Amino acid sequence: MLSAVAPRAPYTACMKTLLITGASRGIGAATARLAAHRGYAVGINYIRNAAAADSLVREILAKSGNATAIQADVASETDVTRMFTQFDRAFGTLDALVNNAGIVDQQMRLETMDSARLHRMFTTNVTGSFLCAREAVRRMSTRHGGKGGAIVNISSKAAQLGSPGEYIDYAASKAAIDAMTVGLAKEVADEGIRVNAVRPGIVRTEIHASGGEPHRIERVKYSIPMKRAGEAEEVANAILWLLSDQASYCTGSFIDVSGGR
Ligand code: NAP
């Protein structure tokens, strides 16, 4: 369903369009703000927090940007296809996708993880990104009559560090995103689509509270060479660069935004 806040009309055809999954809060919201500032019309996906998504849309519209909020669970194929159809109706074409929606779960060791948790983790973080990438390729690929585009996947330094004692399942889901980035980048490289990824380290968002440790940053920050967490805006800068024409010869590339970790 479309949120209460409608996109600004008329849509100006010279604007590039961007769909960001999980953009109501955290890194996705920072990316939406920066993208709108740079002239993108932005689709702001969320799963539950309509108030946050609508508030962000209002903020962007108030600054003469263009945005619309779209509710969808990226783990649901039905929701994902509906989300892209709503995006098509709002903005016409899709130029860029940021696969950002992602979850952690309560910190625990592997031997206490059950299949329900693993299913939730992998359907959201992996299947969700695959389904959204599929819909984007169907729209962007010159093979399907599209005019090309750019995809940025949000991985994590956890893919390389493994997150022992916290969430190895999450780290493994992000390693899958790294492999998908490499493979899809090669698959669509001569069809006008660039596929890259950003690997954030520890970034100040609400995700740490959802893993059961709201003050995780205070515990781990001294293990980061820069001795501080990153801010969502610092990740957004890397994402926007990879989406931009300045990154025109980059595909299958990764930017670590992790303070040296
Ligand atoms: P966050 O603050 O917890 O925000 C999560 C966002 O994802 C929210 O907008 C949430 O929507 C949305 N979301 C969650 N499940 C969804 C689903 N099934 N379908 C659609 N949207 C969904 O997270 P964050 O820290 O910004 O993380 C963003 C991405 O960066 C994730 O992929 C995460 O793994 C990655 N990352 C984060 C860090 C970090 O330290 N923060 C480090 C490395 C990688 P609602 O508001 O509706 O709940």
For residue 174, being part of any structural domain is answered with: yes
Mean pLDDT of 156-160: 98
State the residue range of the domain holding 106: 17-257
User: Is residue 196 included in any domain, yes or no?
Assistant: yes
Catalytic positions: 170
Phi/psi region, residue 22 (left: phi>0; alpha: psi -120 to 50; beta: rest), is left
> Could you report the per-residue pLDDT of 164-217, keeping only the tens digit for each?
999 999 999 999 999 999 999 999 999 999 999 999 999 999 999 999 999 999
**pLDDT tens for residues 224-234?**
999 999 999 99
pTM of whole model > 0.85?
A: yes
Distance 198 CA to ligand 1 centre (A): 14
The domain total for the chain is 1
- CATH number of the domain to which 125 belongs: 3.40.50.720
Q: Would 82 be classed as within a structural domain?
A: yes
Residue 191 lies in a domain: yes
Atom of ligand 1 nearest to the CA of 125: 32
pLDDT at 2 over 90: no
Which residue puts its alpha carbon closest to atom 46 of ligand 1? 49
Strand partners for 151: 97, 195
Which atom of ligand 1 lies nearest, measured to the CA of 24?
Answer: 9
How far does the centroid of ligand 1 lie from the alpha carbon of residue 102, in Å? 4
In angstroms, the CA 168 to CA 104 distance is 10
140: its two tokens:
């962007």
In the chain, the percentage of residues whose pLDDT exceeds 90 is 94
- Residue 57 resides in a domain: yes
| The pLDDT of residue 15 | 86
Q: Which atom of ligand 1 is nearest to the CA of 204?
A: 41
- Ligand 1 mutation target, pool 21, 48, 103, most atoms within 8 A of CB: 103
Asked, for residue 5, whether it belongs to a domain, the answer is: no
